[in-house]
Amino acid sequence: MITFKSGASRGSAQGFSLIELMIVVAIMAIIASIALPSYNEHLRKSRRAAGTACLLQAAQQMERLYTTELSYEDAPDEFNCDGDTEEFYNVESVEVDLGAKTYTLSATPTGRQDGDRCGTLTIDQAGNRLPGDAGCW
């Protein structure tokens, strides 16, 4: 007669059952379904912050132009931004007044940023920002 002295018996199975594996997969799916929208919203906010920074950079360029020329008449139509902001926002000079004393700049969302709840961000020579929602700026 042979007896086993170790804790494992001869007929015990090793590994995971299919039910246990499916429970783990279900838990992972639930965690992913909660985390993914939050991550996408974080990306959208960081891209918007880069777009607003680019817009403010363009406004500073306009003010430097006004300082040297005393008008906004020779303002560029489009502005180049640092980083990969151009992939998500198109920053342009929308309107320069005939008297060349006022301007309006806009940052229009493009690509994956299109459909952002804030939409197009604008700023003028007086620093007025639209939309006025604090979460957008």
pLDDT at position 12 is 65
pLDDT at position 27 is 96
Radius of gyration of the chain (CA): 28
Class of domain 18-130: alpha beta
pLDDT at position 112 is 76
Give mean pLDDT in consecutive 10-residue pieces for the chain, a chain of 137 residues: 56 78 95 91 85 86 84 77 77 72 83 75 84 70
3-state class percentages of the chain: helix first, strand second, coil last, to nearest 5? 40, 15, 40
The predicted model scores a pTM of: 0.69
pLDDT at position 25 is 95
Sequence-distant (≥ 6) Cβ neighbours of residue 74 within 8 angstroms = 65
pLDDT at position 54 is 86
Rounded Cα distance between 105 and 61, Å, is 11
pLDDT at position 8 is 52
